[in-house]
Amino acid sequence: MRLSDCHNIDDFRKLAKARLPWPVFDYIDGAADDELTKARNTTAFDDADLVPDVLAGVAEIDTSCTILGRKSALPLMLSPTAVQRAFHHKGETAVAKAAEKFGLWFGISSLATRSIEEIAALTSGPKLFQLYVHKDKGLNQSMIERCQAAKFDAMALTVDTIVSGKRERCLRSGFTTPPRFTPSAVWSYATRPRWTLDYVFREKFRLPNLDSHVAEGTGKAVSIAEYFNTMLDTSMDWDTAARIRQDWGGKFALKGVMSLNDARRAVEIGADAIMISNHGGRQLDGSRAPFDQLREIVDCVGGEIEIIVDGGVRRGTHVLKSLAAGATAASGGRLYLYALAAAGQPGVERAIGILKDEIERGMRLMGVTSVDQLTPERLRWR
């Protein structure tokens, strides 16, 4: 299978599976416990049907929207994801450049393998920094200040990762950061020489946003679960979120809000957006899907805060359904990670291009010429 054989996100997943050693593939593809929530995040979209209008004159259409104060060419964001250089040696550089080319938001993780400053120098497109609150308050402060100096457009505070979800595929594979060659996976690394040689001979794998605070300094490989459970601040609460909102001062989103109560509190602390998210099913298995929860959240805080549906998006029509149900935009991680793993920047560009085409085609077939015409009447729930 080649890149030119990829016509949807699942095709990129198959190519990624063929290219990556299984511990690395399972880190991307896996989720918590029985992975019920991960599966539901996507199938939730099947419970609502689009209702098209015809003869609407759709020669010219505008797919753009405004998210967190900046124009986005599509109502789609690239969610922040950790350690992208484990998937392809270009990592965040490839994703940031592809996002800039298509005029989309790029989300960089606290656990990125490129620094805040490198990303800022690389792209003039809209950029969001995802903050994990660490026990080390100096580290939190330094990341906020570095983002301010680098003129990031927004910050998203991830609030669903107080402890790590039970990611059983990672427990079995022993996946660590930086990746380490575990005996059970030796064969898999040996039969993926392109990945393995790239990983061994390219520049050293680092987590530069953590300064010298963590693994980088010690050179120790840790599992992501171990990292979360030892480094992150389990006492984080609404006062912490409000303080970070204030210290940061710019556009601010809470990532991982699910309940109506929390959506209301996000408005109260002055957040500009919430990302309805269960971390792609990687945290609390059995948690509701973002798309299932969207309508109630829109009824509760719609019009007061931007609402982004994060998780399960694999099709342009999933984005259209999210907008019709009241979201400002949709967002996703695996939709571009499989493509990054499959083929680096050209892969990510092809994946975004396919979603762009699906969004445009879907809008034309729906008889709408701008995203604000996707209103609740255009959706029927089964």
Strand 65-67 with 273-277, pairing? unpaired
The distance of closest approach from Cβ of residue 279 to ligand FNR in the complex, given in angstroms and rounded to an integer, is 5
**Nearest Cα to Cα of residue 238 among 199, 276, 265:** 265
Residue nearest to ligand FNR (CB): 333
Query: Rounded CA gap, 258 and 294, in Å?
Result: 9
The distance of closest approach from Cβ of residue 282 to ligand FNR in the complex, given in angstroms and rounded to an integer, is 6
Determine whether 279 is an active site residue.
yes
The distance of closest approach from Cβ of residue 3 to ligand FNR in the complex, given in angstroms and rounded to an integer, is 20
Query: Rounded CA gap, 238 and 224, in Å?
Result: 25
Q: List residues near ligand FNR by CB under 6 A.
A: 27-28, 41, 79-82, 109, 111, 130, 158, 255, 277, 279-280, 310-313, 332-335, 337
**Nearest Cα to Cα of residue 309 among 263, 267, 242:** 263
Nearer to ligand FNR, 147 or 337 (CB): 337
Nearer to ligand FNR, 130 or 164 (CB): 130
Q: How far is CA 256 from the centre of its chain?
A: 11
Nearer to ligand FNR, 115 or 368 (CB): 115
The distance of closest approach from Cβ of residue 4 to ligand FNR in the complex, given in angstroms and rounded to an integer, is 24
- Three-state SS string over the chain comes to CCHHHCCCHHHHHHHHHHHCCHHHHHHHHCCCCCCHHHHHHHHHHHHEEECCCCCCCCCCCECCEEECCEEECCCEEEEEECCHHHCCCCHHHHHHHHHHHHCCCEEECCCCCCCHHHHHHHCCCCEEEEECCECCHHHHHHHHHHHHHCCCCEEEEECCCCCCCCCHHHHHHCCCECCCCCHHHHHHHHCCHHHHHHHHHCCCCCCHHHCCCCHHHHCCCECHHHHHHHHECCCCCHHHHHHHHHHHCCEEEEEEECCHHHHHHHHHCCCCEEEEECHHHCCCCCCCCHHHHHHHHHHHHECCEEEEEECCCCCHHHHHHHHHCCCCEEEECHHHHHHHHHHHHHHHHHHHHHHHHHHHHHHHHHCCCEHHHCCHHHEEEC
Nearer to ligand FNR, 114 or 255 (CB): 255
Nearer to ligand FNR, 279 or 378 (CB): 279
Nearer to ligand FNR, 82 or 257 (CB): 82
Residue of 89, 134, 279, 318 marked catalytic: 279
The distance of closest approach from Cβ of residue 207 to ligand FNR in the complex, given in angstroms and rounded to an integer, is 10
Nearer to ligand FNR, 61 or 333 (CB): 333
The distance of closest approach from Cβ of residue 159 to ligand FNR in the complex, given in angstroms and rounded to an integer, is 9
The distance of closest approach from Cβ of residue 186 to ligand FNR in the complex, given in angstroms and rounded to an integer, is 23
**Residues marked as catalytic:** 279
